[in-house]
Amino acid sequence: MSLLKTIEPNPSFAPREAVPVPERLISGNPGFKTWAQDAARNETIHTGAWEATPGLTHSIKGETFEFCHILSGLVEITPEGGEPVIYKAGDSFVMKPGFVGIWKTIETVRKIYVTA
């Protein structure tokens, strides 16, 4: 087993496709694609690529820490009680455990993610 893992931004295998659960959907008809590429520490850390089409959803991290690096597209994230922040290709950010807010996909977005 190698301890070095390259995360492919455009994987050649089929993604897992999903839609938001009804209680998280605010507006639009977003679809999600996930290309899970690695898991570690007894499946508590996950890495891969993720894509979403335009729409507005509630983002609730619970106990999860998530690092994101935007590859393409445009999103606006508004923390509960905070101001909106725009992220575009080349931007990186972290949503810490307990984060609650609104995720607005303005243009189809693709990101590399690490969750723990």
Calpha distance 39→43 (Å, rounded): 5
CATH topology of domain 22-115: Jelly Rolls (2.60.120)
| Residue reference for tokens 């303005």 | 106
Return the pLDDT at 1. Answer: 60
Domain ranges of the chain: 22-115
pLDDT > 70? residue 40: yes
Residues 92, 78: Cα–Cα separation, whole Å:
15
User: Residue 50 — pLDDT band, cuts 50, 70, 90?
Assistant: very high
Q: Do residues 48 and 34 lie in contact, with contact meaning Cβ atoms separated by under 8 Å?
A: yes
Q: What is the pLDDT of residues 3-18, one digit of tens each?
A: 899 999 999 999 999 9
pLDDT in tens, 51-109: 999 999 999 999 999 999 999 999 999 999 999 999 999 999 999 999 999 999 999 99
Q: What is the pTM of this model?
A: 0.93
**Tokens matching residue 16:** 């897992």
